[in-house]
Structure 1
Amino acid sequence: MPLVLHAATLLLSVLFPAHGAPEVDCALWQDLDSAVVHKEGQVILAGMFPLHSKGVEQELNFSSSPGMRRCRGLNLRALRWSQAMIFFINEINRNPDLLPNITLGYRLYDTCWLVALSMRTALSVVSQPIKRSQTGACLAPTVPLIIGDSGSTLSITISRLLNLFKIPMVSYFASCACLSDKKQFPYFFRTVPSDSFQASAVARLIKHLGWSWVGMLGTDDDYGYTATGMCTAELTRLGVCVAFHIIIPKVPSVQQIQGIVKTIQDSTARVLVCFATEEEIEPVMEEVVRQNVTGRQWVASEAWITSTLMSTTYPSLVGTIGFAISRATIPGLQKFLHNLRPLAEPYNPSAREFWETQFSCSFNKSKPVGSMADAVHYNRTCTGEERIEDTETAYNDVSQLRVTYNVHKAVYAAAQALHNLFMCQRDESTTDKQPCPDIYNLQPWQMIQYLKEVNYTNVFGDTVYFDEHGDSLGSYDIVNWQKGPGDRTLRFVKVGHFDSSLPADQQLLLHQDIMWHDGSKEVPVSVCTASCAPGYRKATRKGEPLCCHDCVPCAEGTFSSNQSECTLCPEDLWSSPQRDSCVDKHIEFLSYTEGFGMALAAMAILGIVATMTVASIFLRHRDTPLVRANNSELSFLLLLSLTLCFLCALTFLGQPTRWACPLRRTAFGLTFALCLSCLLSKTLVVLMAFKATLPGNNMARWFRPPQQRLGVFLCSALQCVICITWLTTAPPYPVKNTWLYRDRIVLECHMGSVALFSCVLGYIGCLAVFCFILAFLARKLPDNFNEAKFITFSMLIFCAVWITFIPAYVSSPGKFTVAVEIFAILASGFGVLLCIFVPKCYIIIFIPEKNTKKYLMSQSVGR
């Protein structure tokens, strides 16, 4: 309990420095971690690195202070990062232009990649000794900023603790997008890009390479969950399906690892995306290699794509591709790394552990081993003079300085912020009301504003700054693991670049010299179902992802050319038989060249020939009593109108045009009006002729030839007026009928004005009905002088044809509408020709003895 109270008192003194208050103990407290590497300075930067990858459980009895932390699995990359921080701080201290007359110190901690130990480290930082001023007052702590941590989960935990003390942290490798939330992490900054950029970049790379069926692996922490979640969402938006989602436990059992590998082996996905660190993916890869699971293309996250441990241990992972943070070549660093000495000051326990492991020797026990949990004692004694440059390890490999470069950015960003703060203090002659912070008595929260304002270009030409979320620019190298003909190990080859600051269509740049998992240059295929052939569309399977589908032929009128859906063809086009494109629709109209059109044309020509034959017979026998008795002038005019009717039928054949459509309709109306006018006049002549034989009836003088001609003219002229009105106001015009049939276009003539067309038809109907009534009334007059009976039959046929025409016309589709109309014209024309003229021609040709005046008069008298 006294220890807890003492710690509480110390934390209160950190939060609320007591100037003039009773003195508290400013003596050096024992660090919670005795394995810390430290060097004093006027300003101390704390660094947190996972120098070991695993921790060892310790029993806590709460009766005594916890012992020294015990970890295992020395991480050589992290050891290089920690030594690089020392190197960078030494560079800054030697630079007269950066923080002049200010010496930076450091305290480097080992977090052992565990949350509990990271929390313990953070508490070690905030409980560092405070300085006593010249007046005896205890001042602020000497650590205003922390460089770290490497893991997202560790950084999240530490940041929440440091928020209580307003201590900023600049991470070099915590990429979780959740850390961009300034409400939760207001004092967090980082030099590694946020995973939101990486998730988008990975998804776009997969889409660019044509993969639509991938597996997703992630670690059981914030980094794994957030990165895989964002990447899955982006993949779904781009139309890529995730076959499975595996979470890799932090401390997996053998059964769990075997289950993960079995899922990978059983899945049809050939592309595997993995967001994990090298320590967490390594057991899975070991089992993959042991079970000889091949044919898989790995897409690595930035956490392990440049892992020398993975590339050297598992050369079968050739072809692995992924996004790596930007790299740099740092002059002098390798030499500094080679100068590491296991027993030099300041003492570095991890250096001793590295030395003993690397050179298979043991030191005497004059120095504590520190955090090493399971030290191995070798028979050979270490001299300390062994040469690191003679070894090749991840520690002294400076070919892929990516995370190390981020450490450089973080340390120099902190130095730039301190430099700007120091310059403000030195130039305090400004008119600002707020005094500048005192760098010798610096409160951690005073660093925050200066970190936000950091914006400089480093010696490598890169601009370093933090945006409003505390993030840096989203820039990655696309790295591919390749092996040459004589290479035994894999090489990291840059094959592309991603830069989020560029326009969307220029952000992803990919070269063609990529080696894939099978050693070939051909991009592997990873799809749940092969792409549908042209002319087919995707039909999703019930209960399965969208990428698993069946291929169904496109419907008529639609097409598909390697698309997921069928596209409707434009109105004037139709799908090809293969449904892979649209072709021009078949144009349909009643043509002379097709069989049906030729038959109708032949009938029309036959009618013309028959009419002209009858006309020639009548003309040759025009002086005979039979021709003279039947009003030869009206007969010839009727024959002319019938010829025009048969000619009119021919105008309905062929393609409708802007000239053919008006000609068809008006020719039909005028010729039939002339024909019926002639028949009406002949009927009236018959009636009046026999009425004139009655005593005292002189009506015949009103129906002489001049009056007959006038009657025909007037009846035809009225129809002509209607047609002229029709042509001038709303004439017929050609249209493309695309609604009747889906697969073809019917060319037809629109009526223009339906009302005027109805007037034309109605007028013809009135003439026909009136003529029929008069002929019916005159049917019993003497046969030899009477044409009324034949006119009655012809009008009966005429009316029957056109009454039948109406339903047939309405119900006939397309070009058959025109055929029905032509047939009605021909049928009515032949009806008049046969009923009226054929009997007379028969008498003229075959029974000439009846074509005499005596015979005709005798028949009349007999009656």
Structure 2
Amino acid sequence: MGAGTEDLEQRQACRPISRRASPLPALVREGDITLGGLFSLHDSVLEPDLSFTAEPNATLCAEFNFRTFRWTQTMIFAIDKINRNGRLLPNVTLGYKIYDSCSTPFHALRAAMTLLSGQDEGSAEPGCSPGVPVVIGDGGSTLSLVAAGFLGIFHVPQVSYFSSCACLSDKDKFPAFLRTMPSDFFQVDALALLVRHFGWTWVGSVAGDDAYGRQGVQIFNDEDAGALFQEVLRQNLTGIQWLASEAWITASVLSAPHFHPILQGSVGFAIRRADIPGLQAFLLRLHPSTAQDNPFVPEFWEETFGCSLKGGRGDKPLCTGAEQLASTENIYSDVTQLRISYNVYKAVYAIAHALNSMIECKPGKGPFSGRSCPDTASIQPWQLLHYLKQVEFTNEFGEETKFDENGDPVAMYDLINWQITGDGAVEFVTVGKFDGTLSLSEKLEIDEKAIVWNGPQKQPPQSVCSTSCLPGTRRAIKPHFPACCFDCIVCTAGEISNQTDAIECLKCLPEFWSNARRDECVPKQVEYLSYRDTMGVALLAVALLGACCAVGVAFVFVRRRTTPIVRANNSELSFLILGSLVPCFLCALVFIGRPTAWSCMMRHSVFGVAFVLCLSCILGKTIVVLMAFRATLPGSGVMKWFGPRQQRAIIFLCTLVQVVICGVWLAVAPPSPQRLLTRESARIVLLCSMGSPLAFGLVLGYIGLLSCLCFLLAFLARKLPGNFNEAKLITFSMLIFCAVWIAFVPAYVSSPGKYTTATEIFAILASSFGLLACLFFPKCYIILLKPEKNTRKYLMSKSMADMRY
């Protein structure tokens, strides 16, 4: 009874002070040795009413932090990796107990007390369990100050991954505090060396007005920086070279495009980064179904995918479970800048190596009184602290990890430069490094050529009358000023200067043009009528439409080939004309696209032969109409000389002439791709040279001769009976054909660049549509819409009327 009463009193002593205080959610995995973790998984808290007229409600954490959640997962990843590694801590399983400090000192202290006391606030059975022997965290220096003060009283080692305040190096106040994050003391030293390296003597400083910021003029966090640069942006304070602290040099909140004009070229120090193998895959494997013991996953999942795992939460849809982190892009899955995550990783491994040293201690050779070894069955925090201070190892990335007498790591920084890429994103480029272990003259190493400064200049800012003129500009002396004062004039288009303080700009070679910076001659852009151009697509569509129309008319004629109007108009020649019009339309396609040797030869040869074939058919048809009328006169035997065989011979011979002309042209001086160069243009026009202007003239001249002959014969036959000839239609078609090609000549000569080719295509399509419309659309109109006129009786009566007239 007495023992039971004593046990009850002990368990009651471990009850929370406030019954209304919500228990701290904990991410727990049991192990032989449990590591504590403090992470600010939320950025703010919702404070309850503190009027104290009633017991205050619990504070609620808000604004889930994806970046800190990645740090938490990195700790779990490192522990899992150690547990799978048989060489480090063999036969020992590490566990963890991680709490959210909600970015507030109150929650940080409460979580530290919970870890130290072993009290599980979320347990249904109140009671005590052994506290953790070591704590990893917290992130912010303000939070670590609170936790370190409390944990230091009980000599529980605390290894922070992101607290950089130099005040935490005071071992009188914080005897159990260590960190994998360098102290700001070294960062101030690095910034001072950077300023001295470039000879800057006029430097302003901005710092947060708090205990953290007053430790070093460079210190303010990314939230402070965001507020500062919003004001800088509002006042349009451009042209300032910013020196950044580690707290915000790689802050994603400042990499938004609207900050680029003021922050591009910023230079600052960042802790070392590493690419941790397997971490990204581990992060992306996270899923609510496989992480049910993680109380932070539901909120993370809902914030990431904008859904609800439980349903009934406003307008958020229910999560399906099919969501995949691999399909998202956020700061959680971004492993390109693993700096703080790398610190967490190193903290876990430092503790693991310290524990391993404790386990490997040989009796009689221990560091404690009587050369005793620690009791590894019950790890004492103060003993682990001793081993942590002595830990020293080289990790898998070749970096040495150890702590000095103040619990600080080796001070190593990367010098980072903000550079804007071609797609407008910020790239954090490493342009130097700082090593606190080296001598003063060797601590800072800088690659000045790799730095892009704020503004257009390529050189470090200087306090001089005129800064040096960068490549792409030339010097112009200022009137009435000393010789050292000058203006930098940007080189004109087509000229460059590729050295600093150039006196004059140099012209680029004919096939080259200056780039945007005017410091390099780059190949000119090649221009031609492409299938991707709007004009090219439009002409392609019109050409295909014309070909389809010709095929459609032919289809109508085939379907109605027994009707009088088709039979009365020499159906064989009509089909030949329609068949030749199809290549007339389609030959325009050869003119579109990048000119090649084959396409250049095909352009004018296909064009010339197709049109001559069409005009030869029209010519044959016109001759037949004339001769047919004469054959109706008594005693005439003309038609025996203009039968179907003779008609085909006329078409063949007329077309053969053009084929011979094109064949000789292609054999002697074929058209070929030509690059048209001008010094005043940034483009090279790629077109087809004629090869032989005489041959091109013969091709066009022969087409013109046939069209004029067709026009003349059609004009002579215009008064013959309308049902036995198409003289009027041929006359109109030849008028349109000739008008198009007469207008083509001045338009072709005056059109620049790729519009020359477009003009030629337009002439081809316009003349082809003119022939098709004038010769066949009226017949199609009668066939399809006026079938009563497509009878033998109607045609005969109309013919008699025409003859009487």
Q: Distance in 2 between matches of 1:423 and 1:464?
A: 19
Q: Distance in 1 between matches of 2:101 and 2:239?
A: 37
Given the two structures, how large is their TM-score scaled by the length of structure 1? 0.49
Q: Distance in 2 between matches of 1:358 and 1:52?
A: 14
Partner of 1:393: 330
Partner of 2:174: 185
Deviation at 1:44, TM superposition (A): 1.2
Deviation at 1:411, TM superposition (A): 0.7
Partner of 2:395: 458
Q: Distance in 1 between matches of 2:167 and 2:308?
A: 44
Contact 2:365 / 2:372 at 8 angstroms: preserved in 1?
no
Deviation at 1:178, TM superposition (A): 1.4
Partner of 1:244: none
Deviation at 1:299, TM superposition (A): 1.3
Deviation at 1:68, TM superposition (A): 4.5
Counterpart secondary structure, 2:207? strand
Alpha-carbon spacing, 1:415–1:68, altered in 2? closer, same or farther (3 Å): farther
CA deviations on 1:274-319 (whole Å, 9 max, x unpaired) are 5222223212223332443212222111112112232135333211
1:400-419 → structure 2 map (5 Å cutoff): 400-419=337-356
1:363 paired with 2:298, answer no
Decide which of 434, 440, 444 is 1:498's aligned counterpart.
Answer: 434
What amino acid is the match of 2:432? G
Q: Distance in 2 between matches of 1:102 and 1:490?
A: 44
Partner of 2:272: 326
Deviation at 1:71, TM superposition (A): 2.2
Decide which of 47, 53, 56 is 1:57's aligned counterpart.
Answer: 47
Decide which of 19, 25, 38 is 1:35's aligned counterpart.
Answer: 25
Partner of 1:488: 424
CA deviations on 1:404-441 (whole Å, 9 max, x unpaired) are 111111111111111111222xx436587253222332
Deviation at 1:357, TM superposition (A): 2.3
Q: Distance in 2 between matches of 1:63 and 1:94?
A: 54
Partner of 2:162: 173
Contact 1:33 / 1:121 at 8 angstroms: preserved in 2?
no
In terms of mean alpha carbon deviation, does 494-503 or 296-305 score higher?
296-305
What amino acid is the match of 1:331? P
Structure 1: segments with no counterpart, 5+ residues: 1-17, 131-137, 229-273, 367-375, 532-863
Partner of 1:307: 251
Deviation at 1:182, TM superposition (A): 1.2
Q: Distance in 1 between matches of 2:251 and 2:226?
A: 10
Structure scoring higher RCO (CA < 8 A, sep ≥ 6) equals 1
Partner of 1:44: 34
1:510 paired with 2:446, answer yes
1:367-378 → structure 2 map (5 Å cutoff): 377-378=314-315
Deviation at 1:128, TM superposition (A): 1.4
1:474 paired with 2:411, answer yes
What amino acid is the match of 1:287? E
Q: Distance in 1 between matches of 2:128 and 2:106?
A: 29
Partner of 2:104: 114
Deviation at 1:470, TM superposition (A): 0.8
Decide which of 446, 459, 466 is 1:522's aligned counterpart.
Answer: 459
Partner of 1:79: 69
Q: Distance in 2 between matches of 1:526 and 1:112?
A: 46
1:211 paired with 2:147, answer no
What amino acid is the match of 2:27? V
Contact 2:37 / 2:137 at 8 angstroms: preserved in 1?
yes
Partner of 2:613: none
Contact 1:33 / 1:124 at 8 angstroms: preserved in 2?
no
Contact 2:164 / 2:183 at 8 angstroms: preserved in 1?
yes
Partner of 2:548: none
Contact 1:54 / 1:72 at 8 angstroms: preserved in 2?
yes
C-alpha RMSD of matched pairs (Å): 2.9
1:264-663 → structure 2 map (5 Å cutoff): 274-312=218-256, 314-316=259-261, 317-342=263-288, 344-364=290-310, 377-424=314-361, 427-428=362-363, 433-484=370-421, 486-512=422-448, 513-525=450-462
Q: Distance in 2 between matches of 1:451 and 1:108?
A: 20
Counterpart secondary structure, 2:163? coil
What amino acid is the match of 2:74? A
In terms of mean alpha carbon deviation, does 343-352 or 58-67 score higher?
58-67
Alpha-carbon spacing, 1:412–1:377, altered in 2? closer, same or farther (3 Å): farther
Q: Distance in 1 between matches of 2:398 and 2:69?
A: 26
Contact 2:118 / 2:129 at 8 angstroms: preserved in 1?
no
Contact 1:343 / 1:352 at 8 angstroms: preserved in 2?
no
CA deviations on 1:516-559 (whole Å, 9 max, x unpaired) are 121432222469x999xxxxxxxxxxxxxxxxxxxxxxxxxxxx
Alpha-carbon spacing, 1:207–1:42, altered in 2? closer, same or farther (3 Å): same
Counterpart secondary structure, 1:100? coil
Counterpart secondary structure, 2:377? helix
Alpha-carbon spacing, 1:68–1:433, altered in 2? closer, same or farther (3 Å): same
Q: Distance in 2 between matches of 1:480 and 1:126?
A: 42
Alpha-carbon spacing, 1:288–1:352, altered in 2? closer, same or farther (3 Å): farther
Q: In the comparison of the two structures, how many residue pairs are matched?
A: 448
Contact 2:163 / 2:179 at 8 angstroms: preserved in 1?
yes
Partner of 2:564: none
Counterpart secondary structure, 2:300? helix
Deviation at 1:463, TM superposition (A): 1.0
Alpha-carbon spacing, 1:482–1:446, altered in 2? closer, same or farther (3 Å): same
Q: Distance in 2 between matches of 1:62 and 1:418?
A: 47
Contact 2:157 / 2:384 at 8 angstroms: preserved in 1?
yes
Given the two structures, how large is their TM-score scaled by the length of structure 2? 0.52
CA deviations on 1:758-784 (whole Å, 9 max, x unpaired) are xxxxxxxxxxxxxxxxxxxxxxxxxxx
Deviation at 1:336, TM superposition (A): 0.7
Contact 2:415 / 2:430 at 8 angstroms: preserved in 1?
yes
Deviation at 1:32, TM superposition (A): 6.6
Decide which of 83, 95, 98 is 2:85's aligned counterpart.
Answer: 95
Alpha-carbon spacing, 1:379–1:169, altered in 2? closer, same or farther (3 Å): closer
Contact 1:159 / 1:185 at 8 angstroms: preserved in 2?
yes
Contact 1:417 / 1:454 at 8 angstroms: preserved in 2?
yes
Contact 1:33 / 1:68 at 8 angstroms: preserved in 2?
no
CA deviations on 1:650-688 (whole Å, 9 max, x unpaired) are xxxxxxxxxxxxxxxxxxxxxxxxxxxxxxxxxxxxxxx
Decide which of 215, 234, 242 is 1:226's aligned counterpart.
Answer: 215
Alpha-carbon spacing, 1:434–1:282, altered in 2? closer, same or farther (3 Å): same
Contact 2:115 / 2:131 at 8 angstroms: preserved in 1?
no
Contact 1:33 / 1:69 at 8 angstroms: preserved in 2?
no
Contact 1:43 / 1:440 at 8 angstroms: preserved in 2?
no
Contact 1:309 / 1:394 at 8 angstroms: preserved in 2?
no
Counterpart secondary structure, 2:132? coil
Contact 2:24 / 2:100 at 8 angstroms: preserved in 1?
no
Q: Rg: which structure is higher?
A: 1
Percentage identity across paired residues of the two chains: 44
Contact 1:142 / 1:442 at 8 angstroms: preserved in 2?
no
Q: Distance in 2 between matches of 1:85 and 1:48?
A: 11
What amino acid is the match of 2:248? W
Counterpart secondary structure, 1:509? strand
Q: Distance in 2 between matches of 1:126 and 1:408?
A: 22
Counterpart secondary structure, 2:332? coil
Contact 1:275 / 1:301 at 8 angstroms: preserved in 2?
yes
Contact 1:125 / 1:143 at 8 angstroms: preserved in 2?
yes
Counterpart secondary structure, 1:53? strand
Q: Distance in 2 between matches of 1:41 and 1:277?
A: 36
